[in-house]
Amino acid sequence: MSQASQPVLIDGRWTPSAGREAFTAVNPATRKPLSDAYPVSSWSEIEQALKAADRAFQASRGWPGERFARFLERYADLIDARADRLVASAHQETGLPVDPRLKNVELPRTSNQLRQAAAAAREGSWALPTIDTKQNIRSMLAPIGPVAVFGPNNFPFAFNSIAGGDFAAAVAAGNPVIAKGHSSHPGTTKLFAEAAQEAATETEMPPGFVQLIYRTSHDDGARLISHPLIGASGYTGARSAGLFLKQMADAVGKPIYLELSSINPVVILPAALSERADKIAEEFTGSCLMGAGQFCTNPGLVLMLAGPATEEFIAGVTKRFEAAPVGTLLGAGVERSLTEGIKQLREAGAKLLTGDKPGDGERFSRANTLLRVDGATFIRDPHRLQTEAFGNASQMIVAKDIEELKAVLACLEGNLTGCVYSDTSGKDDSTYDQIAPALRQKVGRLLNDKMPTGVAVSPAMNHGGPFPATGHPGFTAVGIPAAIRRFAVLQCYDAVRPNRLPPQLRNQSPSNKLWRLIDGQWSTGDIPA
């Protein structure tokens, strides 16, 4: 029992935790613990949260999307109103720059994402209402039940367990959320949860619709996501913990949506280098070192064909890496795993171009690191040479010819993104045609002439990809409406009497904005009686 630790948010109330252990966050800029202690929740209070979430689900099932939209919008407004406190807290807990990152990019993105989710909940088309008038069979997606969200360390706002993408998607579908905050930024998460609870109260959501715990034991985390009262889970983070949770959830048929490691290959074709090597080197360096490289879409692998232009490019990037400021890493764990990842890559045959040494000052950091390996070496040990070095590090692969480049691509694991840079006059086109199909198959998002680190909140976005980037290649964690559909079940009504149907499936549509697939055609209209 940690008297001094912060309360948890369970069943609509901030409650002292029954957990016996507590932890503090650490300021990455100083390596010093911050003052507030946060509890490791006991199983008994996790179970209380589960029961409260189930009650909230039973109370809110069948509510029109409007109700969830109002909550999300009020919450977004409260976040914007408290931007300064959120930014200050996140800066202290993560070391990420205030401006532009936290204040002018990530925070507005977060509240806007909540508003987009609200708009989708209100419109309702995300649920793909489908009506067969001749056979009187009707179906749509419906909320799956309480969703547990495990947020990552690297986006204290946009992927925060109680404010980020999974949260917004789960709520837009109509589900209560049990947020498991990330231990690296509990104070920021607490500020969000306070705003979420206020918004929930003001908009008359049932108690327990939004709940927050800060940490659980490994085993209690697994019990949570595989509990009978859980509908589904979202997890963004390290591969090992994610795969453990996936195994536990899979065993009992509970959907879990994972976003795990990704090294995001970037292929730079020869004529593009001839045309604009400096520009690409600049873009790459910016993308790779921004936020100390702590992005799930950080370009961790650059693939090129051997030649003088490639050598020149590598030399240019190396210089830029040496000259660029070294970012602060999120924490001791990130610093340790980055160091370890680089060590693994070097042991597997990658040569050091620059970096792989401690950073500067008190803060968590590691020198900007660039490695290189030839295609043949990569192909001999592709598994180890795809070790993720999460942070300000990347690896250049130089293939001797197109065939070897294709062989390298064939060895790649699933990734979130893949980029190809080619020249603008068409000299690279035939090479593009040879390599793009292989890359396409390995990644969720294919980019041209653009680095992967920007993940727009767009209906057409795919922030997903083949295993092990995620757990299922058909789903995206970013992008509305698709991301919402992860947290839903398909419910069919066969000959159900008209007055018992959900409004979205009745002949008369509840709104002229709602898209429905009626006898194979999308329509916003009513069905004639």
Does residue 344 touch a copy of itself according to CB under 8 A? no
Which range, of 77-85, 246-254, 282-290, 369-377, touches a copy of itself by CB under 8 A?
246-254
Does residue 98 touch a copy of itself according to CB under 8 A? no
Q: Please, which residue, 250 or 526, has the CB nearer to a copy of itself?
A: 250
Does residue 474 touch a copy of itself according to CB under 8 A? yes
Nearest Cα to Cα of residue 193 among 171, 174, 214, 175: 214
Is residue 296 part of the annotated active site? The answer reads yes
CB of 166 to a copy of itself, least distance (A): 16
Q: Please, which residue, 88 or 489, has the CB nearer to a copy of itself?
A: 489
Does residue 497 touch a copy of itself according to CB under 8 A? yes
Catalytic residue among 45, 93, 106, 259: 259
Annotate each residue in 21-40 with x if it binds a copy of itself (CB under 8 A) or - if it does not, as one string. --------------------
Angle between the 107-123 and 65-81 helix axes, to the nearest 10 degrees? 160
Does residue 514 touch a copy of itself according to CB under 8 A? no
Residues 250-289 that bind a copy of itself (CB under 8 A): 250-255
Q: Please, which residue, 6 or 462, has the CB nearer to a copy of itself?
A: 462
Is residue 259 part of the annotated active site? The answer reads yes
Q: How far apart are the first and last CA of the chain?
A: 63
CB of 356 to a copy of itself, least distance (A): 31
DSSP for 39-85 reads: EE--HHHHHHHHHHHHHHHHHHTT--HHHHHHHHHHHHHHHHHTHHH
Does residue 473 touch a copy of itself according to CB under 8 A? yes
Choice from 29, 34, 367, 496 touching a copy of itself (CB under 8 A): 496
Does residue 349 touch a copy of itself according to CB under 8 A? no
Does residue 246 touch a copy of itself according to CB under 8 A? yes
Does residue 233 touch a copy of itself according to CB under 8 A? no
Choice from 170, 471, 509, 514 touching a copy of itself (CB under 8 A): 471
CB-CB contact of 528 with 141 (8 Å) = no
CB of 412 to a copy of itself, least distance (A): 12
Annotate each residue in 298-327 with x if it binds a copy of itself (CB under 8 A) or - if it does not, as one string. ------------------------------
CB-CB contact of 292 with 389 (8 Å) = no
Q: What is the DSSP letter of 191?
A: H
Amino acid at 104: N
Does residue 115 touch a copy of itself according to CB under 8 A? no
Q: What is the DSSP letter of 504?
A: G
CB-CB contact of 266 with 451 (8 Å) = yes
Residue 361, strand partner residues: none
Does residue 512 touch a copy of itself according to CB under 8 A? no
CB of 488 to a copy of itself, least distance (A): 6
β-strands 443-448, 488-494: how paired?
A: unpaired
Q: Please, which residue, 184 or 453, has the CB nearer to a copy of itself?
A: 453
CB-CB contact of 127 with 504 (8 Å) = yes
Residues 128-167 that bind a copy of itself (CB under 8 A): 130-132, 135, 137-139, 141, 144-145
Q: Considering CB under 8 A, how many residues would be counted as binding a copy of itself?
A: 73
Choice from 241, 306, 324, 489 touching a copy of itself (CB under 8 A): 489
Residues 44-83 that bind a copy of itself (CB under 8 A): 58, 61-62
**CB-based burial of residue 406 (10 Å sphere; 0-12 exposed, 13-18 middle, 19+ buried)?**
middle
| Tally of CA atoms within 13 A in the half-sphere of 323 that contains its CB | 10
Q: Please, which residue, 296 or 350, has the CB nearer to a copy of itself?
A: 296
Q: d(Cα 269, Cα 271) in Å, to the nearest integer? A: 6
Sign of the CA dihedral with 470 first, then 147, 481, and 105 last = negative
Catalytic residue among 45, 93, 106, 296: 296
CB-CB contact of 176 with 210 (8 Å) = yes
CB of 203 to a copy of itself, least distance (A): 22
CB-CB contact of 275 with 188 (8 Å) = no
Q: d(Cα 400, Cα 234) in Å, to the nearest integer? A: 41
Which range, of 270-278, 350-358, 384-392, 493-501, touches a copy of itself by CB under 8 A?
493-501
CB of 509 to a copy of itself, least distance (A): 14
Amino acid at 429: D
Does residue 529 touch a copy of itself according to CB under 8 A? no
Which range, of 40-48, 63-71, 399-407, 490-498, touches a copy of itself by CB under 8 A?
490-498
Both tokens of 351, joined, read 């040569």
Choice from 488, 504, 509, 514 touching a copy of itself (CB under 8 A): 488
Which range, of 92-100, 162-170, 187-195, 485-493, touches a copy of itself by CB under 8 A?
485-493
Both tokens of 263, joined, read 């090294």
Nearest Cα to Cα of residue 235 among 211, 255, 253: 255
CB-CB contact of 142 with 489 (8 Å) = yes
Measured at the CA of 390, the angle between CA 387 and CA 393, to 5 degrees, comes to 90
| Chain-centroid distance, C-alpha 418 | 17
Q: What are phi and psi of 123, to 5 degrees?
A: -70, -45
Residue 213, strand partner residues: 180
Residues 397-436 that bind a copy of itself (CB under 8 A): 414, 417, 432, 436
DSSP for 88-113 reads: HHHHHHH---IIIIIIIIIHHHHHHH
Does residue 447 touch a copy of itself according to CB under 8 A? yes
Q: Please, which residue, 400 or 440, has the CB nearer to a copy of itself?
A: 440
Residues with catalytic roles:
259, 296
